[in-house]
Every structure is written in C-alpha cells, then in structure tokens.
Amino acid sequence: MAIRAKELPETTENWAEADFKGHAKSIVTVKGGHTMIVDEPKRLGGSDEGPSPTGYLVTSLAGCTAVILERVMKDAKLEFESLKVKSTIVYSPRGIAGQEGYKSNPSEAVTEVWLKTSATADQIEAVKADYFRRCPVYNLFAASGCKMTDNWHVTE
C-alpha cells in the first residue's frame, strides 16, 4: 500500500543522543529506541568498536537511496526483482583535523544502483526523477555542494 502524502504530517522530527564514552567512542540512541556504537578506527584514537561518523553518513546515503527507490517504485506501481545500492563518499581528513584550506564536508558522493526490473526505460527515467526529488539524504548532500554521481545498472 502506498503512503498518501495528505495522510502524513506536514513536518516531523527525528533525534539522536550521543553518550560519549571516551577515546572517540559514543553510544548513540535514536528516536526509535535503537542504539549503536559510533567509534573511530584505532589509528585515529578510537577502539574501532563501530562505524565512524562518516561511516554512518555514507550508510545513510545508501540506505535512504534503497528505501526511497522502493517507495517510488511502489508508488508508480512498478515491481522489481532485486535492488542493491552502494554509496561512496570522498571527504578530507585534513578538513576534519582543522587544516586551513580544506573543508570537512564530503566533496563527492558516488552511488551505484543495481536494479532488476521489467520497467521500461521511460518508467526508469521517471523513477530516477522522483528519487532525486524525494530522497532527503541525497538532497542534503547535493545542497552542501557535494558533487553527486549516480550510476544506474538496470537489467530485466
């Protein structure tokens, strides 16, 4: 069943709370009650017990892409046999370290989408346009000035 826009609130909020445990590690609880470890690799002073903040950042892009594509396909009454997404971000550790002349935000994001579907080429183009308009994480990256590259591999 498709989600009807008129049935949704105009705005909503989400939140996350980080309980810092030392040595670059935090236990983060999100609004839904899920908890996760955010940590840095040992070479950066962490204990490597969980993904880094940038690891979760790229996870958000890949995960949101998959969720929004599934929703867009469902809304368009299109079926797919399989969907796989891989996202890669490029950022400057020097910017994060505070070195002058370097920015800390991602400068490039590359997303690969593998989609197995019987949808026509025109339907896929409509799905892409709707995805680019609706994905909040994609749009957050794009609005930051990050160069967005999307490679779609569609098969029947």
* Same domain as 119, residue 70: yes
Nearest Cα to Cα of residue 144 among 93, 99, 89, 97: 89
Contact between 144 and 106 (Cβ < 8 Å): yes
Q: Which helix (H) or strand (E) holds 95?
A: helix 93-96
Expressed as residue numbers, the domain containing 13 is: 1-51
Predicted confidence (pLDDT) per residue in 119-149, tens digit: 999 999 999 999 999 999 999 999 999 999 9
What CATH number does residue 74 fall under? Answer: 3.30.300.20
36 and 77 together in one domain: no
Give yes or no: residues 58 and 32 share one domain. Answer: no
Give tens-digit pLDDT for 31-78.
999 999 999 999 989 999 999 999 999 999 999 999 999 999 999 999
Q: Is the dihedral of CA 55, 58, 59, 60 positive or negative?
A: positive
Identity at 73, one-letter amino acid code: M
Domain identity same for 71 and 81 = yes
